[in-house]
Structure 1
């Protein structure tokens, strides 16, 4: 009997592009959490951090 592959099911994630266009600033960090929450934080100036860099600062 062949092993049956497990299917991973993820909730559909949508970001409203119209809302994003109306937010001040032009660069945003969007974090998708395992519990389903989404956090959106503005990035200032030339700030850019990878996920690894961001959490190594905590």
Structure 2
């Protein structure tokens, strides 16, 4: 899940458990700060911040 902290934009992505990585194109996102959360069984298991300029 990617959530914009300034503009409340939210996007969800379904991940293939057989893959070890995923590329997400954020070129169309507005500049700002985004919270990225990995959710498994309705629990956040990891999170990071993304700063897009």
Normalising by structure 2, what TM-score?
A: 0.31
Higher alpha-carbon Rg? 1
Greater percentage in strand: 2
Q: Which has the higher contact order (CA 8 A, sep 6+)?
A: 2
